[in-house]
Amino acid sequence: MLAIPSPTLVAILLWFLRTFLSCIFCLLIGLGGIAVLDKITVKIHEFKAIRGHAEATALFVGGFLIFAGLVVHGSVLNPIFFGQQILISSFINIQRFLVVSLSVLMCLLFGWIFYVVFAKVTPFHIDLDDINKSPTAVGAFMFCYEVFMGLVINASLSIPL
């Protein structure tokens, strides 16, 4: 029989529950962010372009796996103090979920700003809408955006509140 004190076991189980719920919440909000990105970039049809193209789909899925890894990493490392009293409110932090939600909104805002700058202003004489000419290019665009969003969410999970 394993001799683990009851409060420690409860704390570990609550940590696991908190980590699991944080991962699910962040992954769902990330999926929502990707869907909104598809609507924001009106001339780039992300899901329509990658559907049926192996390389583009692989880039999208690969980007999402990196995004998920960054979310899990941030959720696991989210600061928690084992010396505190065992209360649900100590393990599930609504403020943290608000920070994550705001970070996704920030990602969408920056995604929209970058799209407007590169698609409309063309500072480097690059037409962003050229991405539509290749499903692999759209997949690479989605890959990069997922990594960008994953890094921002990871940071929002890692900062102390």
Confidence of residue 81 (pLDDT cuts 50, 70, 90): very low
Number of domains present in the structure of the chain: 1
Residue 30 lies in a domain: yes
Find the domain containing 54 and state its range.
6-77+84-158
Instruction: Please give the Cα distance from 161 to 154 (Å, whole number).
Output: 14
Residue 1 lies in a domain: no
Residue 53 lies in a domain: yes
Q: Which pLDDT score, from 0 to 100, does residue 7 have? A: 74
Would the pTM count as exceeding 0.75?
yes
Q: Which pLDDT score, from 0 to 100, does residue 152 have? A: 93
